[in-house]
Structure 1
Amino acid sequence: MADYSLETSWRPVEGSFGRLTFTLHNLSAEPLSGFSLAYTSETRVADKHVCDGASLKRQVAHFHEFLPSEQLTVPPGGRWRFTVEGLSREPKHVTAGVKSAYLTLADGRHLPVDFGDLMLEGRDGGVSPPLLPPGKADEPYALLPWPLALGLKAGDLPATLYPAERTRPDAIEALSQVLSLYQRLYPVEDAPFSLRAVEGGRRIRFVAESSIAAFAYELRFTAHEIVLSSADEAGRRYGLISLAQLLHGARADGERFKFPNFGTIADQPRYDWRGCHLDVSRQFYPVADILRLIDILAWNKLNIFHWHLTDDEAWRLEIKAYPALTEIGARRGPDEVLVPQLGDGAETRAGHYTQDDIRRIVAHAASLGVEVVPEIDIPGHSTATLLSLPELADGQEAPDSYRAVQGYPNNALNPAVEFTYEFLGKVFDEIVALFPSEYLHIGGDEVAEGAWLSSPLCQALMKREKLAGTAELQSYFLKRIKAMLSERGRKLAGWNEVSHGGGIDPDGTLLMAWEKPAVGIELAQQGYDVVMTPGQAYYLDMAQAEAWAEPGAAWAGYSPPEHSYTYEAEGELPEALQEKMRGIQACIWTENFISRAYFNRLVFPRLPAVAEAAWTPSGRKDWDRFAAIVRMWPML
C-alpha cells in the first residue's frame, strides 16, 4: 500500500460535461508540501476549464499534472481536495477515471499513489444486468463455433481418442499439435487424445478427400471409429479441435453435454477472414500472453491475428535500422521522453518485442493455422515515432498546430519530408522479412483535421501536386506507401479512412470498416475488399451495459455479448457486392485494460461470440446454446 491515496468522483453539471473532484489523502507520517500530482485518465481536461484548489501545470493527451497552491501543506492524516470543470467528454463508466497516479516532490523523487475507480455523485448509476443467461443446449454437444450441419446420437464417453493403425505421420503430427494446444489451455484436465491405442478409447481414421472444400471437414461417428475427412491441413485441424471440444464438454458437464456415438458433422467457415486484433501500444503484453491469446484464437477457429504494434503511446517492434524506436519509443515514465499514459505510474514502464520474439510468435501461430498481420500505424498515431526520430518532423511547422482526437499534438508523419519514405522503406524491409502475411496493415486512421497545413514543406507539396487539404495529402502519402509495399510483394491493409481524399487503388487493398456499419457498404461500392469490424458490435473495449459500474469505453455506446453474437455484419450489403466482404474481426483496444481482470471481463465471452459469428451461418446461430457452452471456454 502506498503512503498516498487518490479518490476521484464525477458529478453531472447542467450545460457542461460535469465536474471532477479529486481528493488526495496523506497516509504517511510526514507532512506533504512542495509537490505536484500527476495522473493518467481518458477523461481529459479541456483547454478551457475552471479549476478550484489547484492549477494545471502540464497535459499531454491522457497525462495530467496539477499543482496545489504554493503555501499548501497536507498534514499526516490530512487531505487536499480540488475540482475541475471543463472536460473533453462526459464520463459514462467507472473506468473513465484515474488509471495511474504519482507525486513528484521538490527533490525530483516520484512517489506512487493508490487510486480507485471513478465514483458517481448526484445520479443513479443503474444496475449491471447479467451478461450471460443460464443457457440451454437442445443438442447436447459442446461445439464453438457451431458447425454448418450436424446429425448425431449421443453415446458412451470414450476414455480418449487415438489414431488408427498405419495413420500417416503428418496426421499424427496434426493430432499431436491439437493435443498440445488443449494441454496448454486446460493444463489440469485429462488429455482428449493419445498417440497410441488405449483400451476404452476410440480410434480416429484420417481420410484425404479432395471433393471437400478448402478449410472444411467432415466427421463420421460409428460404433468402432471416428472418420475425419478433409482436403487440406486446415480442415483436418478444425476437425481435431471439434473432437477435442466435444470430449471436453462431455467431461466438464456430463449432465448437459455428451459425446456422439453415431452420426455426422459437416462443417466449413462462413468467412475466410476471421480475425482478432490486439493493441499492444497502450498496454504491453509479454510473449507468453501473446502465445496464449493465439492459442485461444485457434481453439475458437479464428485464423487472423492482427497485431497493432505501434501507436502514439509506444513503438513495440525491434527495428535494427532504427534502435531509437524501442530505446525511446517503447519506454514511458516520469523522466522518459514519452510521459506516462494510461496506467503508467511513478516507475518507468517499458516493453518491446525482439525480432527473435516475432519469429517465435509467427511460427507458433502458423503451426495453428493463424496468420499474423502486423500493423504499423501511419501517418497518424505516430507520437512515439516522432519523439524517437525527431528528424522526421518539418522543423518549420508550428508546435501544437493540430491535435489528434486523443489529444496528441502534431502526431502524424509528414508526407512532404522525404526522410519519411526512406525511414518507412527500411522499416518495411525488416517487417516483410519477419512476417510472411500477404498483408501489411498501415493504419491510416484518425489523422487530425488540419494536420500538416502549417507545415511549409506540405504547403509547397500541395502547390506542386495540386492537393487541397489534409485528406488529399494523406491520399498522396498512402499511394506512395502502397507502391512501396507492392515493390516488396505485400498488399496494403488499413482502416476505413484510407479511402478519404481520393483514397488509393482498391485493387489489392483491404480496408477495415470500424466507424459504423454503413461504412463497409460504402467501401465495397468503391471497389475495396472489406473486413467488418464496427465499434458498435466488435470492439471488445466497449462497455457491455449502460450501467456506471460496467468497465469499458463508451464512444460507440455499449455492446452486450448477445449483441456481438447476433449482429449480422453484412447488413444491407447488396448481393452483387458479397464477394467484397472478406469477413469480420474483433478488436481489442487496451486503453481500459489496466488489469488482467478487466481484460478477461471485457474480452470474454465476446471474443468467442464474434468467432461464431465469423464461422457459423446466421440461421444456425443460437444464443442460448452459445451461452451454455461458452462458460467452459478458456480466458487469457
Structure 2
Amino acid sequence: MADYRLEASWSPVEGSLGRFSFTLFNLSDDPLSGFTLAYKSPARVTGEHAAEGAVLKRRVADFHEVSPPEGLTVKPGDSWQFSVEELTNGPEHVTSGIKSACLTLADGRQVPVSVVDLVHDVAKRGALPEFLPKGQVVEPFSLLPWPLSLAMRPDNVAPVALYPAAGSRPENIEAIAKALALYQRLFPADDVPFSLQPVENGRPIRFKAESSIMPAACELRFTAREIILASDDAAGRFYGLITLAQLLHGARHDAETFQFPVFGNIADQPRYEWRGCHLDVSRQFYPVSDIERLIDILAWNKLNIFHWHLTDDEAWRLEIKAYPELTEIGAKRGPGGVPVSQLHDDAETRSGYYTQDDARRIVAHADALHIDVLPEIDIPGHSAAPLFALPQLIDEQQAPDSCRSVQDYSNNTLNPAIEFTYEFLGKVFDEVVALFPFEYLHIGGDEVPHGCWLASPACKSLMEKEKLADTAELQSHFMRRIKTMLAERSRKLAGWNGVSHGGGVDRDGTLLMAWEKPEVGIELARDGYDIVMAPGQAYYLDMAQAEGENEPGASWACFTPPEKTYAYEAEGELPEELRERIRGIQACIWGVSRANFNRLVFPRLPAVAEAAWTPCLRKDWQRFAAIVRMWPKL
C-alpha cells in the first residue's frame, strides 16, 4: 500500500466548468512538510484559475504541480485539502479525473501517490450498464463477421473435430496447424476445433484451388461426409478455416442456439480490402504479449491491418539504433527531467519500448495470420519526445513557448527548415522499412498547430524562398519532401487527414485516414485521395459509450454506444461517384488503460470488423449481439 493517497471530487459551479476538490491523505508514519504534489488530469486549469489552499507552480498539458501553503505540515493520519476552479473542460467521466500523482519530498525524493477514479458530487454510483441486448438469431450459426451468403441445414450433433482429408498438400496441413494454434491461444480451456489426423466422429476438410474466387474470399461446401474449402489464395483459405472454427465454437458453447451445418454452402468475401485496427502505444504502453493477443483477436474477426502508433508527444517506443537517445530518454515516463506523460501511467519513472527484435517478432506473428503491420512515426507535430531526446532538432532561435498544440504541448513540432530534421528522419525511415515490409509507412501529419513555425527565423526564410503563404503550405512543403524520401525507400505514404492541408501531397500512392468527422472523408475523396474512414464519432474506441459520469473514456467526439458503432455506414456518407475512393475502414484505440480496455474496446471492435467485411444489407444487430458474447477479449 502506498504511503499517500489522493482523492478528488468534482462539483458544478454556476458560470464555470466546476470545481475540483482534492484531499491528500498521509498514511505514512512520518509528518509531511516541504513537499510539492504533481498530478495529471485532462481537466486542466487555465491561466486565470482560482486555487484555494494551494499554489499552482507549473502546468504542462495535463501535468499539474502544486505546493501547499507555506509551513503546512500534514501529520500521520491527517490530510491536506485544496481546490481549483476555472478549468479548460469539465470532467465528464470517472476517467477524466486524476490519472496519476506523485510527491516530491523535502529531501528531493519522489514517491508515488495512489489515486482513485473521480467522484462526481452529483453522480449516482452503481454498476455500469450493459449495452448489448440479449440478441436473437434466425439462422443458428455463430459467424462474425457474417458472410456474403449462406444456405445450410444444421445438424444436432457437431463433429468432434475437423481434419485434413487424405492426400492434403503440406501447405493446407500447415494452414490448419496455424488456425489450430490461434484457437488454442484465444480459448486455451476449450476443446480444439481441428486435428492434423483423422478423428472418429470428425469430418475431413478437402481443399480446392479455384481461380474464379477473388482474393481473400472462399467458398465452403458441407456434406455429411466432408467439407470442401475452395479458395484461390492463402488468405481465403485461412479465413475459411476461421469460419469453420467459429461455427464449431458456437455449437459447443451454446448448443441451444447454435449448430454446425451438415449440408449447404457459404460464399464469403471481404467488403473492403483495408480492415484495420489502430493502437496507440505511446501514451499507453502495452507489453509484447498483449499486442500479440490483440493481433490474434484481429485475425479471429478477419481484420487484416494492425496500425501501430509508435511515437507521439509522450514517448518514442521503437528502438532506433542510429539514435539510442530516442528510447534511452524519449521512452521514459514520469516525474523529474523526463518528458511528462499525460495518460494512464505510474508516477514513478519507468521506460517502455520495443526492441527491433520485438518488432520483428510482432511482424512475423501478424504475417502468419495474414495481417499487415502499418508502423506510424508521427511527424511533424506530436514530436515532443524526439525533440526532448535530441536537442539538435530544435531551432535555438525560436522562442521556447512560441506555440502550443491542441493537447497544450509547447513547440512540439519538427522544424522543416533545419536540415538535420531530414537527416534524422532518413535514418529513422531506413531502420523502420527494414523492420516492416508493408508497402505503406504512416507519418501522422495531424494536429500541427496553426502558426507553429512563424517564430522560427529559419522557417520564415524558407517560406520566403519557396513563396509559401502560411504554415499550412510549409507543412505541405515538408510532407512532399517526406513522400519523396519514402518513395526512395520503396514505401507509400499513409497519414491522417491533416496531410492534405496547405495543398497536400501527390495523390498517387497516398492513403489518408479521415478521423475528425465523416465530412472530411468526403472532402478528401473529392480532392482525389484514396481514403480509410476512421471517424472519431463512430470508430474511436476510446470514446465513452454513454453520458453517464461513471462511464470510462473520453467524449470530445461524442458518446458511442456499441449499437451506434455497429450501425454506422462509412460508405453511406459518400456520393456514389466517390465510393471507389474508400479503401476501407479502421477502428482506433487511443491511450486506453489496460483496466478499461475490455470495457471500451469490446464489443465495438468486432462491430467495426463486421462493417469492414459484411455487406450493409447482411448486417443484423440482434444477431451480432447474440454471437459477440462468445468472442475473445484482451
TM range (shorter): over 0.9
Quote the sequence identity (%): 70
Taking the aligned partners of 2:391 and 2:265, their CA distance within structure 1 comes to 62
Q: Are 2:219 and 1:218 equivalent residues in the alignment?
A: yes
- 2:283 touches 2:341 (CA, 8 Å); kept in 1? no
Taking the aligned partners of 2:324 and 2:4, their CA distance within structure 1 comes to 37
1:560 aligned partner, one-letter code:
P
Normalised by the length of structure 2, the TM-score is 0.98
Q: What is the DSSP-based 3-state SS (H/G/I as helix, E as strand, rest coil) of the residue aligned with 1:65? A: strand
Q: Are 2:605 and 1:618 equivalent residues in the alignment?
A: no
Taking the aligned partners of 1:447 and 1:502, their CA distance within structure 2 comes to 15
Taking the aligned partners of 2:364 and 2:107, their CA distance within structure 1 comes to 49
Q: What is the DSSP-based 3-state SS (H/G/I as helix, E as strand, rest coil) of the residue aligned with 1:357? A: helix
The worse-fitting range, judged by mean Cα deviation, of 528-537 and 9-18 is 9-18
Taking the aligned partners of 2:225 and 2:442, their CA distance within structure 1 comes to 48
Deviations along 1:535-573, whole A, 9 cap, x unmatched? 000000000011111100010111001111110011231
Distance change in 2, residues 1:126/1:180 (3 Å): closer
| Equivalent position of 1:230 in the other structure | 231
Taking the aligned partners of 2:374 and 2:510, their CA distance within structure 1 comes to 14
Deviations along 1:107-129, whole A, 9 cap, x unmatched? 01112211111111246689954
Q: How does 1:60-75 map to 2 (within 5 A)?
A: 60-75=60-75
Taking the aligned partners of 1:589 and 1:602, their CA distance within structure 2 comes to 11
Q: What is the DSSP-based 3-state SS (H/G/I as helix, E as strand, rest coil) of the residue aligned with 1:200? A: coil
Taking the aligned partners of 1:233 and 1:336, their CA distance within structure 2 comes to 50
Q: What is the DSSP-based 3-state SS (H/G/I as helix, E as strand, rest coil) of the residue aligned with 1:414? A: coil
Q: Are 2:10 and 1:10 equivalent residues in the alignment?
A: yes
Q: What is the DSSP-based 3-state SS (H/G/I as helix, E as strand, rest coil) of the residue aligned with 1:17? A: coil
Q: CA deviation at 1:74?
A: 1.2
> What root-mean-square deviation, in Å, do the aligned CA atoms of Structure 1 and Structure 2 show?
1.2
Q: What is the DSSP-based 3-state SS (H/G/I as helix, E as strand, rest coil) of the residue aligned with 1:571? A: helix
Taking the aligned partners of 1:63 and 1:608, their CA distance within structure 2 comes to 34
Q: Are 2:497 and 1:496 equivalent residues in the alignment?
A: yes
Q: How does 1:304-343 map to 2 (within 5 A)?
A: 304-343=305-344
The worse-fitting range, judged by mean Cα deviation, of 335-344 and 8-17 is 335-344
Taking the aligned partners of 1:231 and 1:610, their CA distance within structure 2 comes to 26
| Equivalent position of 1:430 in the other structure | 431
Q: How does 1:19-34 map to 2 (within 5 A)?
A: 19-34=19-34
Q: Are 2:384 and 1:386 equivalent residues in the alignment?
A: no
Taking the aligned partners of 1:202 and 1:24, their CA distance within structure 2 comes to 64
Taking the aligned partners of 1:25 and 1:108, their CA distance within structure 2 comes to 20
Taking the aligned partners of 1:526 and 1:90, their CA distance within structure 2 comes to 37
Q: Are 2:625 and 1:627 equivalent residues in the alignment?
A: yes
Deviations along 1:497-553, whole A, 9 cap, x unmatched? 111111111111100000000100110000000000000000000000111111000
Deviations along 1:161-218, whole A, 9 cap, x unmatched? 0010000000000111000000000011011000000111001000001111111100
Q: What is the DSSP-based 3-state SS (H/G/I as helix, E as strand, rest coil) of the residue aligned with 2:611? A: helix
Q: Are 2:513 and 1:544 equivalent residues in the alignment?
A: no
The worse-fitting range, judged by mean Cα deviation, of 203-212 and 6-15 is 6-15
Q: CA deviation at 1:148?
A: 0.5
| Equivalent position of 1:58 in the other structure | 58
| Equivalent position of 2:526 in the other structure | 525
1:540 aligned partner, one-letter code:
L
Normalised by the length of structure 1, the TM-score is 0.98
| Equivalent position of 2:285 in the other structure | 284
Taking the aligned partners of 1:536 and 1:346, their CA distance within structure 2 comes to 32
Q: What is the DSSP-based 3-state SS (H/G/I as helix, E as strand, rest coil) of the residue aligned with 2:158? A: coil
Q: CA deviation at 1:37?
A: 0.8
| Equivalent position of 2:605 in the other structure | 607
Taking the aligned partners of 1:204 and 1:347, their CA distance within structure 2 comes to 54
Distance change in 2, residues 1:277/1:340 (3 Å): closer
- 2:123 touches 2:549 (CA, 8 Å); kept in 1? no
Distance change in 2, residues 1:178/1:408 (3 Å): same
Q: CA deviation at 1:32?
A: 1.2
- 1:128 touches 1:545 (CA, 8 Å); kept in 2? no
| Equivalent position of 2:80 in the other structure | 80
Q: CA deviation at 1:386?
A: 0.2
Q: How does 1:96-495 map to 2 (within 5 A)?
A: 96-122=96-122, 129-155=129-155, 156-495=157-496
Number of equivalenced pairs: 633
Deviations along 1:26-52, whole A, 9 cap, x unmatched? 222322111111111121122221111
Distance change in 2, residues 1:237/1:545 (3 Å): same
Distance change in 2, residues 1:406/1:605 (3 Å): same
Taking the aligned partners of 1:210 and 1:575, their CA distance within structure 2 comes to 30
| Equivalent position of 2:89 in the other structure | 89
Q: What is the DSSP-based 3-state SS (H/G/I as helix, E as strand, rest coil) of the residue aligned with 1:363? A: helix
1:597 pairs with one of 595, 598, 601 = 595
- 2:218 touches 2:237 (CA, 8 Å); kept in 1? yes
Taking the aligned partners of 2:217 and 2:308, their CA distance within structure 1 comes to 26
The worse-fitting range, judged by mean Cα deviation, of 570-579 and 297-306 is 570-579
Deviations along 1:383-407, whole A, 9 cap, x unmatched? 0000010100110000111111111
2:28 aligned partner, one-letter code:
S
Taking the aligned partners of 1:17 and 1:516, their CA distance within structure 2 comes to 26
- 1:38 touches 1:101 (CA, 8 Å); kept in 2? yes
- 2:284 touches 2:345 (CA, 8 Å); kept in 1? no
- 1:129 touches 1:545 (CA, 8 Å); kept in 2? no
Deviations along 1:200-255, whole A, 9 cap, x unmatched? 10010000011111111000110100000001111000000000000011101111
Taking the aligned partners of 1:291 and 1:194, their CA distance within structure 2 comes to 23
Taking the aligned partners of 1:202 and 1:121, their CA distance within structure 2 comes to 61
5+ unaligned residues in a row in structure 2: which ranges?
none
Taking the aligned partners of 1:327 and 1:28, their CA distance within structure 2 comes to 33
Taking the aligned partners of 1:282 and 1:323, their CA distance within structure 2 comes to 20
Distance change in 2, residues 1:571/1:126 (3 Å): farther
| Equivalent position of 1:584 in the other structure | 585
5+ unaligned residues in a row in structure 1: which ranges?
none
